Amino acid sequence: SRYYREVLPGEIVKISRHDVQTLDVVRRLEGDPSAFCIFEYVYFARPDSIFEGQMVYSVRRRCGQQLAIEAPVEADLVSTVPESATPAALGYAQKCGLPYVEVLCKNRYVGRTFIQPNMRLRQLGVAKKFGVLSDNFKGKRVVIIDDSIVRGNTISPIIKLLRESGAKEVHIRVASPPIRFPCYMGINIPTKEELIANRPEFHDLANYIGADSVVYLSVEGLVSSVQESIKARQDNNPKTHKSFIGKLGHCTACLTGDYPVELEW
Alpha-carbon dihedral 72, 141, 148, 89, rounded to 10 degrees: 70
Question: Per-residue pLDDT tens for 34-50?
Answer: 899 999 999 999 999 99
Dist. CA 3–CA 46, nearest whole Å? 20
135 within a domain of the structure (yes/no):
yes
Question: Per-residue pLDDT tens for 1-35?
Answer: 467 788 888 899 999 999 999 999 988 877 678 89
Q: Tally Cβ neighbours within 10 Å of residue 19.
A: 7
21 within a domain of the structure (yes/no):
no
Residue 135 C-alpha from the chain's centroid: 28
Q: Domain holding 166: CATH number? A: 3.40.50.2020
Question: Per-residue pLDDT tens for 129-141?
Answer: 889 999 999 999 9
Dist. CA 247–CA 114, nearest whole Å? 38
Dihedral angle sign, alpha carbons of residues 82, 84, 88, 91: positive
Choice among 46-50, 163-167, 168-172, 234-238 with the minimum mean pLDDT: 234-238
Q: Is 211 or 1 the better-scoring residue by pLDDT?
A: 211
238 within a domain of the structure (yes/no):
no
104 within a domain of the structure (yes/no):
yes
How confident is the model at residue 110, as a pLDDT? Answer: 59
Q: Which domain holds residue 115?
A: 39-223
Question: Per-residue pLDDT tens for 107-117?
Answer: 876 555 454 55
**CA–CA distances in Å: residue 259 to residues 10, 183, 189, 230, 252:** 19, 9, 15, 22, 7
How confident is the model at residue 46, as a pLDDT? Answer: 95
Question: Per-residue pLDDT tens for 58-105?
Answer: 999 999 999 999 999 999 999 999 989 999 999 999 999 999 999 999
146 within a domain of the structure (yes/no):
yes
Please give the tally of structural domains in the chain.
1
147 within a domain of the structure (yes/no):
yes
Half-sphere exposure of 40 (CA within 13 A, CB side): 17
80 within a domain of the structure (yes/no):
yes
Dihedral angle sign, alpha carbons of residues 212, 62, 130, 133: negative
Q: Is 124 or 144 the better-scoring residue by pLDDT?
A: 144
How confident is the model at residue 121, as a pLDDT? Answer: 55
The model's pTM is 0.87
127 within a domain of the structure (yes/no):
yes
* Buried-exposed string 196-206: b where 16+ CB fall within 10 A, e elsewhere: bbbeeebeebe
